[in-house]
Amino acid sequence: MFKPIYLLLLAFTLLAVPLFAQFTYQNLYVDFQGAKEHRNLRIIPIRAKSGFLDTAMNSNLNRFNNTITLQDAMNNDKIDIRDRDGVNTLQFTNKGNQPVYLMSGEIVKGGRQDRIIARDFILEPNADNVKVPVYCVEEGRWGNKSKYEYYHEGSMHLRKKVDIDKSQGAVWKEIEDENKNDGVSSGTKAYTAHSNNQQYVQRENDYLQQFAISTFGDISNVVGLVAITGDMVMGCDIFASPDLFQREYNTIIYSYIDEAVSFGINITITDQQVRTYMDNLLSNEATQRRFIQRYGKVFEEEGRVIHITTYDNR
Protein backbone atom coordinates (compact mmCIF):
# COMPACT_ATOMS: atom_id res chain seq x y z
CA MET A 1 0.00 0.00 0.00
CA PHE A 2 2.79 2.40 0.95
CA LYS A 3 5.35 1.10 -1.54
CA PRO A 4 4.71 3.72 -4.29
CA ILE A 5 5.05 6.56 -1.76
CA TYR A 6 8.22 5.00 -0.35
CA LEU A 7 9.73 4.68 -3.81
CA LEU A 8 8.78 8.27 -4.60
CA LEU A 9 10.45 9.54 -1.42
CA LEU A 10 13.53 7.44 -2.12
CA ALA A 11 13.78 8.82 -5.64
CA PHE A 12 13.45 12.37 -4.34
CA THR A 13 16.17 11.72 -1.76
CA LEU A 14 18.56 10.34 -4.37
CA LEU A 15 17.93 13.33 -6.61
CA ALA A 16 18.39 15.78 -3.75
CA VAL A 17 21.86 14.54 -2.78
CA PRO A 18 23.75 15.87 -5.82
CA LEU A 19 21.66 19.04 -5.80
CA PHE A 20 22.37 20.08 -2.23
CA ALA A 21 25.66 18.36 -1.39
CA GLN A 22 27.40 18.82 -4.70
CA PHE A 23 30.16 21.09 -3.39
CA THR A 24 31.96 18.43 -1.33
CA TYR A 25 34.94 16.11 -1.71
CA GLN A 26 32.50 13.53 -3.05
CA ASN A 27 32.37 15.59 -6.22
CA LEU A 28 35.32 17.99 -6.08
CA TYR A 29 39.05 17.96 -5.43
CA VAL A 30 41.65 20.65 -4.81
CA ASP A 31 44.37 20.36 -7.44
CA PHE A 32 47.50 21.28 -5.48
CA GLN A 33 49.71 20.10 -8.33
CA GLY A 34 48.04 22.58 -10.66
CA ALA A 35 48.67 25.61 -8.43
CA LYS A 36 50.09 28.78 -9.99
CA GLU A 37 52.11 31.36 -8.05
CA HIS A 38 53.37 34.84 -8.78
CA ARG A 39 54.88 37.22 -6.24
CA ASN A 40 52.47 37.32 -3.27
CA LEU A 41 49.64 35.30 -4.79
CA ARG A 42 49.12 31.57 -5.20
CA ILE A 43 45.94 30.23 -6.82
CA ILE A 44 44.92 26.58 -6.71
CA PRO A 45 42.21 25.27 -9.06
CA ILE A 46 39.27 23.29 -7.73
CA ARG A 47 38.32 20.56 -10.18
CA ALA A 48 35.10 18.57 -10.55
CA LYS A 49 34.88 14.80 -10.67
CA SER A 50 32.88 13.10 -13.41
CA GLY A 51 29.70 12.77 -11.33
CA PHE A 52 29.63 16.50 -10.67
CA LEU A 53 30.12 17.24 -14.36
CA ASP A 54 27.27 14.90 -15.29
CA THR A 55 24.98 16.69 -12.82
CA ALA A 56 26.11 20.07 -14.13
CA MET A 57 24.83 19.12 -17.58
CA ASN A 58 21.28 18.33 -16.50
CA SER A 59 18.35 20.56 -17.39
CA ASN A 60 18.22 22.19 -13.95
CA LEU A 61 21.31 24.16 -14.86
CA ASN A 62 20.38 25.18 -18.39
CA ARG A 63 19.22 28.62 -17.30
CA PHE A 64 22.44 29.29 -15.41
CA ASN A 65 24.67 27.95 -18.19
CA ASN A 66 22.94 30.39 -20.54
CA THR A 67 23.71 33.48 -18.47
CA ILE A 68 25.99 36.28 -19.56
CA THR A 69 28.16 38.34 -17.25
CA LEU A 70 27.25 41.80 -16.05
CA GLN A 71 30.37 43.11 -17.79
CA ASP A 72 29.33 41.63 -21.14
CA ALA A 73 25.79 42.93 -20.74
CA MET A 74 26.97 46.46 -19.98
CA ASN A 75 29.66 46.51 -22.68
CA ASN A 76 27.12 45.40 -25.30
CA ASP A 77 24.34 47.75 -24.19
CA LYS A 78 22.09 44.89 -23.09
CA ILE A 79 21.38 46.34 -19.70
CA ASP A 80 20.14 49.67 -18.38
CA ILE A 81 20.97 50.88 -14.87
CA ARG A 82 19.19 53.78 -13.23
CA ASP A 83 19.44 55.45 -9.84
CA ARG A 84 16.62 55.37 -7.37
CA ASP A 85 16.06 57.82 -4.52
CA GLY A 86 18.06 55.82 -1.97
CA VAL A 87 21.76 54.99 -1.79
CA ASN A 88 21.36 51.24 -1.47
CA THR A 89 19.17 50.37 -4.48
CA LEU A 90 19.68 50.53 -8.22
CA GLN A 91 17.10 49.78 -10.91
CA PHE A 92 18.15 47.28 -13.59
CA THR A 93 16.47 46.53 -16.92
CA ASN A 94 17.65 43.59 -19.02
CA LYS A 95 17.24 44.58 -22.66
CA GLY A 96 18.54 41.26 -23.96
CA ASN A 97 17.15 37.73 -24.37
CA GLN A 98 19.63 36.02 -22.03
CA PRO A 99 19.73 36.05 -18.21
CA VAL A 100 22.41 38.26 -16.70
CA TYR A 101 24.31 37.00 -13.66
CA LEU A 102 25.17 39.76 -11.19
CA MET A 103 27.67 38.77 -8.50
CA SER A 104 28.07 40.42 -5.13
CA GLY A 105 31.25 42.47 -5.15
CA GLU A 106 30.92 43.66 -8.76
CA ILE A 107 31.29 47.42 -9.08
CA VAL A 108 29.61 49.83 -11.48
CA LYS A 109 30.77 53.43 -11.69
CA GLY A 110 28.85 56.50 -12.76
CA GLY A 111 25.30 57.60 -12.09
CA ARG A 112 24.90 59.57 -8.90
CA GLN A 113 27.69 57.58 -7.21
CA ASP A 114 29.67 54.38 -7.76
CA ARG A 115 28.02 51.24 -6.36
CA ILE A 116 28.90 47.64 -5.51
CA ILE A 117 26.40 44.79 -5.98
CA ALA A 118 25.25 43.52 -2.58
CA ARG A 119 24.25 39.94 -3.46
CA ASP A 120 24.26 37.42 -6.30
CA PHE A 121 21.27 37.90 -8.55
CA ILE A 122 19.90 36.50 -11.82
CA LEU A 123 18.32 39.19 -13.96
CA GLU A 124 15.85 37.43 -16.26
CA PRO A 125 15.60 38.19 -19.99
CA ASN A 126 13.61 41.37 -20.69
CA ALA A 127 13.17 41.98 -16.95
CA ASP A 128 12.11 45.60 -16.47
CA ASN A 129 12.92 47.98 -13.61
CA VAL A 130 14.17 45.34 -11.16
CA LYS A 131 15.40 46.65 -7.82
CA VAL A 132 18.91 45.38 -7.03
CA PRO A 133 20.49 45.91 -3.59
CA VAL A 134 23.83 47.74 -3.64
CA TYR A 135 26.24 49.60 -1.40
CA CYS A 136 27.84 52.95 -2.18
CA VAL A 137 31.59 52.86 -2.88
CA GLU A 138 31.94 56.63 -3.36
CA GLU A 139 30.93 58.29 -0.13
CA GLY A 140 31.68 61.89 -1.11
CA ARG A 141 29.47 62.28 -4.17
CA TRP A 142 25.74 62.36 -4.88
CA GLY A 143 25.18 63.95 -8.25
CA ASN A 144 24.77 63.40 -11.97
CA LYS A 145 27.48 61.79 -14.04
CA SER A 146 27.74 59.79 -17.27
CA LYS A 147 25.80 56.55 -17.49
CA TYR A 148 27.02 53.58 -15.48
CA GLU A 149 30.10 51.71 -16.69
CA TYR A 150 31.50 48.41 -15.54
CA TYR A 151 34.54 48.58 -13.22
CA HIS A 152 35.39 45.11 -11.91
CA GLU A 153 35.14 43.01 -8.75
CA GLY A 154 36.28 44.57 -5.49
CA SER A 155 39.11 43.16 -3.38
CA MET A 156 38.49 40.24 -1.05
CA HIS A 157 38.60 42.67 1.89
CA LEU A 158 35.84 44.75 0.33
CA ARG A 159 33.77 41.75 -0.76
CA LYS A 160 33.93 40.41 2.79
CA LYS A 161 32.44 43.64 4.12
CA VAL A 162 29.62 43.32 1.59
CA ASP A 163 28.89 39.61 2.13
CA ILE A 164 29.47 39.22 5.86
CA ASP A 165 29.29 42.63 7.57
CA LYS A 166 26.43 43.77 5.29
CA SER A 167 26.90 47.35 6.45
CA GLN A 168 27.23 50.56 4.45
CA GLY A 169 29.37 52.04 7.20
CA ALA A 170 31.72 49.05 7.12
CA VAL A 171 32.02 49.35 3.33
CA TRP A 172 32.92 53.06 3.52
CA LYS A 173 35.46 52.40 6.29
CA GLU A 174 37.08 49.62 4.26
CA ILE A 175 37.39 51.87 1.21
CA GLU A 176 38.93 54.63 3.31
CA ASP A 177 41.49 52.15 4.70
CA GLU A 178 42.29 50.61 1.30
CA ASN A 179 42.67 53.95 -0.46
CA LYS A 180 45.06 55.10 2.27
CA ASN A 181 46.98 51.81 2.20
CA ASP A 182 47.32 51.92 -1.59
CA GLY A 183 48.22 55.59 -1.86
CA VAL A 184 45.01 56.32 -3.77
CA SER A 185 43.78 59.90 -3.69
CA SER A 186 40.09 60.62 -4.27
CA GLY A 187 38.18 63.79 -3.54
CA THR A 188 34.93 61.79 -3.47
CA LYS A 189 36.37 58.84 -1.50
CA ALA A 190 35.82 56.55 -4.49
CA TYR A 191 37.14 52.98 -4.50
CA THR A 192 37.30 53.15 -8.31
CA ALA A 193 39.98 55.85 -8.01
CA HIS A 194 42.44 52.92 -7.89
CA SER A 195 42.26 52.95 -11.68
CA ASN A 196 43.82 56.45 -11.69
CA ASN A 197 46.87 55.35 -9.69
CA GLN A 198 49.47 54.37 -12.29
CA GLN A 199 51.70 52.46 -9.88
CA TYR A 200 48.76 50.42 -8.58
CA VAL A 201 47.51 49.64 -12.10
CA GLN A 202 50.99 48.52 -13.19
CA ARG A 203 51.21 46.08 -10.29
CA GLU A 204 47.68 44.87 -11.01
CA ASN A 205 48.49 44.29 -14.70
CA ASP A 206 51.64 42.39 -13.77
CA TYR A 207 49.48 39.86 -11.90
CA LEU A 208 46.82 39.78 -14.60
CA GLN A 209 49.39 38.73 -17.20
CA GLN A 210 50.51 35.84 -15.00
CA PHE A 211 47.03 34.57 -14.14
CA ALA A 212 45.31 34.23 -17.49
CA ILE A 213 42.84 31.35 -17.29
CA SER A 214 45.02 29.37 -19.72
CA THR A 215 47.76 29.08 -17.07
CA PHE A 216 45.70 26.35 -15.39
CA GLY A 217 45.97 24.04 -18.40
CA ASP A 218 42.90 21.93 -19.08
CA ILE A 219 40.01 23.92 -17.62
CA SER A 220 37.22 21.63 -18.81
CA ASN A 221 36.64 20.44 -15.23
CA VAL A 222 37.69 23.51 -13.23
CA VAL A 223 34.80 24.97 -11.22
CA GLY A 224 36.60 27.14 -8.68
CA LEU A 225 39.75 28.60 -7.18
CA VAL A 226 41.47 28.85 -3.80
CA ALA A 227 43.55 32.02 -3.33
CA ILE A 228 46.49 32.33 -0.93
CA THR A 229 48.83 35.02 0.29
CA GLY A 230 51.28 35.02 3.19
CA ASP A 231 50.33 32.39 5.77
CA MET A 232 46.60 32.43 5.05
CA VAL A 233 43.88 31.42 2.65
CA MET A 234 42.29 34.67 1.53
CA GLY A 235 39.26 32.74 0.30
CA CYS A 236 37.76 30.80 -2.58
CA ASP A 237 34.98 30.85 -5.17
CA ILE A 238 33.24 27.72 -6.49
CA PHE A 239 30.59 27.59 -9.22
CA ALA A 240 28.00 25.04 -10.26
CA SER A 241 29.60 24.24 -13.62
CA PRO A 242 32.84 24.73 -15.59
CA ASP A 243 30.94 26.91 -18.09
CA LEU A 244 29.79 29.29 -15.38
CA PHE A 245 33.27 29.38 -13.84
CA GLN A 246 34.90 30.19 -17.18
CA ARG A 247 32.51 33.05 -17.86
CA GLU A 248 33.04 34.57 -14.42
CA TYR A 249 36.80 34.00 -14.20
CA ASN A 250 37.73 37.44 -15.51
CA THR A 251 35.50 38.92 -12.82
CA ILE A 252 36.71 37.04 -9.75
CA ILE A 253 40.40 37.08 -10.64
CA TYR A 254 40.47 40.83 -9.99
CA SER A 255 39.31 40.20 -6.45
CA TYR A 256 42.31 37.98 -5.66
CA ILE A 257 44.80 40.12 -7.55
CA ASP A 258 43.70 43.37 -5.92
CA GLU A 259 43.93 41.66 -2.54
CA ALA A 260 47.50 40.57 -3.33
CA VAL A 261 48.45 44.05 -4.58
CA SER A 262 46.99 45.77 -1.51
CA PHE A 263 47.67 43.30 1.28
CA GLY A 264 49.78 40.45 -0.11
CA ILE A 265 52.98 39.26 1.56
CA ASN A 266 55.49 36.50 0.88
CA ILE A 267 53.77 33.09 0.82
CA THR A 268 54.66 30.82 3.74
CA ILE A 269 51.52 28.72 4.18
CA THR A 270 51.83 24.94 3.86
CA ASP A 271 49.62 22.67 1.76
CA GLN A 272 48.41 21.03 4.95
CA GLN A 273 47.18 24.34 6.29
CA VAL A 274 45.30 24.89 3.05
CA ARG A 275 43.82 21.37 3.30
CA THR A 276 42.60 22.13 6.82
CA TYR A 277 40.81 25.24 5.52
CA MET A 278 39.27 23.33 2.63
CA ASP A 279 38.24 20.43 4.89
CA ASN A 280 36.02 22.88 6.75
CA LEU A 281 34.33 23.70 3.46
CA LEU A 282 34.27 20.45 1.49
CA SER A 283 34.24 17.53 3.96
CA ASN A 284 30.46 17.32 4.24
CA GLU A 285 27.37 19.45 3.92
CA ALA A 286 26.89 20.02 7.66
CA THR A 287 30.37 21.45 8.28
CA GLN A 288 30.13 23.37 5.01
CA ARG A 289 26.95 25.15 6.09
CA ARG A 290 28.45 26.11 9.44
CA PHE A 291 31.66 27.35 7.82
CA ILE A 292 29.84 29.42 5.21
CA GLN A 293 27.54 30.90 7.83
CA ARG A 294 30.58 32.36 9.61
CA TYR A 295 33.02 33.01 6.79
CA GLY A 296 31.20 33.29 3.48
CA LYS A 297 27.98 33.23 1.52
CA VAL A 298 26.10 30.85 -0.76
CA PHE A 299 23.88 31.63 -3.73
CA GLU A 300 21.11 29.08 -4.28
CA GLU A 301 18.29 29.03 -6.81
CA GLU A 302 15.84 26.36 -7.93
CA GLY A 303 17.14 23.93 -5.33
CA ARG A 304 20.73 24.19 -6.49
CA VAL A 305 23.86 25.75 -5.10
CA ILE A 306 25.10 28.04 -7.88
CA HIS A 307 28.00 29.87 -6.26
CA ILE A 308 29.90 29.65 -2.98
CA THR A 309 32.32 32.29 -1.75
CA THR A 310 34.40 32.00 1.42
CA TYR A 311 36.88 34.35 3.06
CA ASP A 312 39.77 34.06 5.50
CA ASN A 313 38.68 32.44 8.76
CA ARG A 314 40.63 34.60 11.17
Q: What is the pLDDT of residues 196-231, one digit of tens each?
A: 999 999 999 999 999 999 999 999 999 999 999 999
What is the pLDDT at residue 31? 98
Identify each DSSP E strand in the chain by its residue range: 28-30, 36-38, 41-48, 68-69, 79-83, 89-94, 100-102, 106-109, 115-117, 121-123, 130-136, 149-153, 222-229, 232-239, 296-301, 304-311
Q: What is the pLDDT of residues 234-287, one digit of tens each?
A: 999 999 999 999 999 999 999 999 999 999 999 999 999 999 999 999 999 999
Enter the pTM of the model. 0.92
Rg (CA), the chain: 20
Q: Which of 159, 200, 168, 173 is nearest to 88 (CA)?
A: 168
Report the distance separating Cα 275 and Cα 43, nearest Å.
14
Q: Which of 164, 278, 251, 254 is nearest to 205 (CA)?
A: 254
Q: What is the pLDDT of residues 49-105, one digit of tens each?
A: 998 888 776 646 667 778 999 999 999 999 999 998 789 999 999 999 999 999 999
C-alpha pair distances (Å), 77 with each of 80, 95, 117, 196: 7, 8, 19, 25
